[in-house]
Amino acid sequence: MADKITPLIAGNWKMNGTSASLAEIARLAGLLAAGPPPRCTVLICPPATLLAPLTAIAAPAGILTGGQDCHPRPSGAHTGDIGAPMLADAGARYVILGHSERRADHAEGSELVCSKAAAAIGAGLTPIICVGETEAERRSGDAERVVATQLAASVPGDWGGCGIAVAYEPVWAIGTGLTPTAADIARMHATIRQLLEARFGAAGAGVPILYGGSLKPGNARDILAIENVNGGLVGGASLLANDFHAIISAV
């Protein structure tokens, strides 16, 4: 990981967790307090129902929190949606946008992701903008073109003072236990870095690029050591304090 970028280890709880799950955050806080300070920013993105109570437990331990999605508009007649200012009001500092599950399950295109990212930035949140190819796209040799197209259309041109993060998640590796080779990850992260620098110059060189897709304690150390991997977007392993702490400790 590049020395100039503070690594970010972000846990995406997806549609998992109830109030009983808050005990895992208390346990994680204890694990962090018992050891040396983490060499990364630690972030948990729970379901919206848990954001405020989880933040109350996490904040004293230095654990940041975020949302898993937001609407492009700050408020209005949008039943079932959540605005970025609402996330911020509940204690969020980040928000995940454009995750492959949102793109697939809700037919979200990159233009919509871009408008959500702009809304997040406007509310003072840092968007984690997700990109990644399907297995068919990788097999056809189209992975880098797909990711480049998503990146170009999903990232807004003006970040304000909030900055952004990008998460590369090969869709075929999410929750499957499969991971790309180290060479594949290095190549895609290098491509993303080059595209960010070409578009944003020095600012693009400072954007954290996270790897996601079956990141777990057993492979975290090797993956986080790859050039241009500046952290991880962690799914299932973030639900358990011991597993997530092991990934944090791998930085």
Active site residues: 99, 169
- The amino acid sitting at 168 is Y
From start to end of the chain, where are the E strands? Answer: 8-12, 41-45, 64-67, 94-97, 126-131, 165-168, 209-212, 231-234
Question: Residue 80 — left, alpha, or beta (φ > 0 → left; ψ -120 to 50 → alpha)?
Answer: left
Read off the DSSP letter of residue 94: E
For residues 126 and 118, the answer to whether their CB atoms sit within 8 Å is: no
Long-range CB pairs of 71-78 (<8 Å, 24+ gap) are: 71/116, 71/119, 72/112, 72/115, 72/116, 72/118, 72/119, 73/119, 74/119, 74/122, 74/123
